[in-house]
Structure 1
Amino acid sequence: MALHILMRIFGVFVVATVCFFSIYNGTTLFTLHPVLMSSGFLLLMSEAIVAFTSNSFVASNLKYNERLTLHWMLQLSAATLIGLAFFSIYSHKNNNNYDHFVTRHASLGLTTCLMLVGTMCGGIAARYSSAFRKKIKPALLKIIHSIVGVITYTMAIITFCLGIDSEWFRAQSGAKLVTILTYSTGILAILALIQPFLSILTKMRKVNNEN
């Protein structure tokens, strides 16, 4: 639970700081992008990831089906904010006749969003894995979903760090704060992923031993 509390502290710090420096000069379609994207990925998706772990003080006393419901509700909420963030920056560039997906941040961000869609589809397949029992073991399908989810979240973290390292955000916050936010985001990611990663390894060994 201590890891979850630390994760929340770092998450709230990073997101609150990004939100402040993004909109303190005014709210536009452009400034809404980092606000919505950081809230979706760093807060809600982080919570969705740890919902199945013993670190979660929110879900620690919940039954498996209740944790599952909490996971997909958080994931759906995160995807909604991320979708709105994508729409806001896309609309902003259209309105100003800017080219789309020309930076590393934008290209990786698009790939991450596509991966997110795939991850969510995989989550539906994992939820009803018994229906695919004849083609693939339910346990293996759930492991694949978890691995893709970890990869997607990692890509989101990298995309976010590229975003706050942009000239625009550096001008808003300063280089030192960008460095602090980058390290804080890295710590947040480690805290969110460490137990899911260990869980994947344990499940993989179990499936391997059953073969």
Structure 2
Amino acid sequence: MRSDVEYSPVGEGLGMREFWLYVWLRRAAVIAAHVIGLGLTLTISLLSRPGTSLFSWHPLFMSVAYCLCMTEGILLLSAEGSPFCFKSRKGKVRLHWFCQALVLMAAATGLGFMVASKNVSELPHLVTWHSLLGISTLATTGLQSACGVCMIFPKLLHLSSSAPRLKLYHATCGLVVYLLGTVTMMSAMFSDWFQATVKGLTWWAFLLLPLFPALVVMNQITNAYLPRKKITR
């Protein structure tokens, strides 16, 4: 007969050997996401050759914002493979807000250089899919940051939602922002500048690599905040 309904934690029902294999695979995935985020940032920074033009600063600051700072800001909250695993939860949260503040500053700077470059070259704004996705990503990033401020000062802002519900909203919106940023970054691979710089199999590697950190972030957020699978006995 069916009895009380319980929630099963991730990995429940696995044997000891399978459980530890699962744990280490998750840790390896998080570490790989850290490496890919940093590697993409460094590679794009080298390819853009900062200082050669106004536009050259745009890929640099945008990669720092979304490949590095946003990825690290989310992954440092993970229990598996985070370089800040020795920090307290409060310390992790503070580092998270610091990283998100860097995202805003770097993204705003990158946008400024792009606008300046377009104005100097007398080129129209917002005429490509990449530019439209980019401005949407920046707008949602700003809204998400406002959501974060609401979480810090819920009583001051007289918010009626409970803390767990606010955390769920914040995490869900954060996932949307990160996935939108990933799509925007992938669309940049189709730009004339990038296709003239990177060709062949290397181009395909650049196109597909951002998907891995996105999958790790999605898995982390869904496991942490979405209702766990129900089981019956």
Give the TM-score normalised by the residue count of structure 2.
0.81
State the partner residue of 1:208: none
Q: Is contact 2:75–2:82 with CA below 8 Å preserved after alignment?
A: no
Task: Give the counterpart of 2:47 among 21, 31, 34.
Answer: 21
State the partner residue of 1:4: 30
Which structure carries more helix by proportion?
1
Question: Offset at 1:128?
Answer: 2.3
State the partner residue of 2:177: 152
Aligned-partner Cα distance in 1 for 2:157–2:109: 33
Unaligned runs of 5+ in 2: 1-26
Q: How does 1:47-86 map to 2 (within 5 A)?
A: 47-86=72-111
Aligned-partner Cα distance in 1 for 2:117–2:158: 46
Q: Deviations over 1:158-185 (max 9, x none)?
A: 0000002212211111142221011111
- Helix, strand or coil at the partner of 2:122: coil
Aligned-partner Cα distance in 2 for 1:35–1:51: 22
State the partner residue of 1:209: none
Q: Does 1:35 align with 2:60?
A: yes
Amino acid at match of 1:15: T
Question: Offset at 1:98?
Answer: 1.0
Moved over 6 A (4+): none
Amino acid at match of 1:174: K
Aligned-partner Cα distance in 1 for 2:72–2:48: 23
Unaligned runs of 5+ in 1: 206-211
State the partner residue of 1:184: 209
Q: Is contact 1:130–1:138 with CA below 8 Å preserved after alignment?
A: no
**Segment drifting more, 128-137 vs 70-79:** 128-137
Alpha carbons of structure 1 residues 59 and 4: separation in structure 2 relative to 1, 3 Å: same
Q: Is contact 2:151–2:167 with CA below 8 Å preserved after alignment?
A: yes
Q: Percent identity?
A: 22
Give the TM-score normalised by the residue count of structure 1.
0.88
Question: Offset at 1:134?
Answer: 6.1
* CA-atom RMSD in angstroms: 2.0
- Helix, strand or coil at the partner of 1:59: coil
State the partner residue of 1:170: 195
